[in-house]
Amino acid sequence: MNISDTIKFSLSEAEQEVSAFVCDSKNVQALQKAAEYCAEAIRNGKKIISCGNGGSLCDASHFAEELTGRYRGGRRPLPAISVNDSAYMTCTGNDFSFDEVFSRYVEAMGSERDVLLAISTSGKSKNILMAAEAARSLGLTVIALTAHPSNADDQNPLALMSDVAIMAPCAPHSDRIQEIHSIVIHILIECIEKLLGLDN
């Protein structure tokens, strides 16, 4: 396969994943519920904490910066933070364990009726599951941004722990899932702004 064929194949594969996501009506319902949870939290003076590993951390940070900064238009900053402080994460990873880097942050910064956006392509990352567990124990709403397992008989632990789970289709590679997650993040922000009357 030459470079031109590689590009066409990759674009076609991405298109198929997006189409599969759009065709699943449960995704629209999950997105709407997630946006409502986030808007309600902000309306009540609460905040959104987001976390993920690797590319999912980039997505978590992107979500938070577009809420605190701007998305498409100018509006007031919205309270969102991503767990991405390298000093904190290396301190916690070194002194405790990498499994605790997100849960300890949630324990320190989270409060009842906040929202945790937990991002994991597999839904099995231990540090994300521990963050979700900590969030639930403190009364936070947990939104999972994850994917369906490749084996229909398997379960997604993060989805099971969450108040609402937005599930990308199973894909041959995690980058295809992350592309769906990026789209979801932008739609979430757009819907949050609309629900808060900030979309003018």
Whether residue 9 lies inside any domain: the answer is: no
The number of C-alpha atoms within 13 Å of 72 and in the hemisphere containing its C-beta is: 12
Question: Mean of the pLDDT values across residues 87-100?
Answer: 97
Compute the distance between CA of residue 168 and CA of residue 161 in angstroms, rounded to an integer. 17
Query: What CATH number did the domain enclosing 177 receive?
Result: 3.40.50.10490
4 in any annotated domain: no
Q: What is the pLDDT of residue 154?
A: 85
Looking at residue 72, what DSSP letter applies?
S
| Angle made by CA atoms 105, 110, 112, in degrees to the nearest 5 | 155
Residue pLDDT, tens place only, 117-166: 999 999 999 999 999 999 999 999 999 999 999 877 689 999 999 999 99
Does the residue 165 lie in any domain?
A: yes
Q: Is residue 118 part of a domain?
A: yes
- Angle at the Cα of 93 (from 90 to 98), degrees rounded to 5? 130
- Let me know if residue 59 belongs to a domain: yes
**Which amino acid belongs to residue 70?**
R
Check residue 96 and give its pLDDT.
Answer: 97
Looking at the structure of the chain, the number of domains it has is: 1
The arithmetic mean of pLDDT across residues 36-61, rounded, is 98
Q: What is the mean pLDDT of residues 69-84?
A: 95
Which string of DSSP letters, residue by residue, matches 3-25?
HHHHHHHHHHHHHHHHHHHHH-H
Binned at pLDDT 50, 70 and 90, residue 46 comes out as very high
**Confidence band (pLDDT; 50, 70, 90) for 171?**
confident
Q: What span, in angstroms and rounded, lies between the C-alpha atoms of 41 and 186?
A: 18
Least confident of 9-13, 35-39, 108-112: 9-13
64-73 confidence digits (pLDDT tens): 999 999 999 8
pTM value surpassing 0.85: yes
CA–centroid distance for 32 within its chain: 14
Q: Which residue has the tokens 């986030």?
A: 38
* Residue 107, in any domain of the structure: yes
Mean pLDDT of the chain: 95
In the prediction, which pLDDT does 63 show?
98
In a domain, 51, yes or no: yes
Q: Residue 8 falls within a domain, yes or no?
A: no
Q: Can you give the pLDDT at residue 200? A: 65
Helix (H) / strand (E) containing 142: strand 141-147
Q: Which domain holds residue 33?
A: 22-195
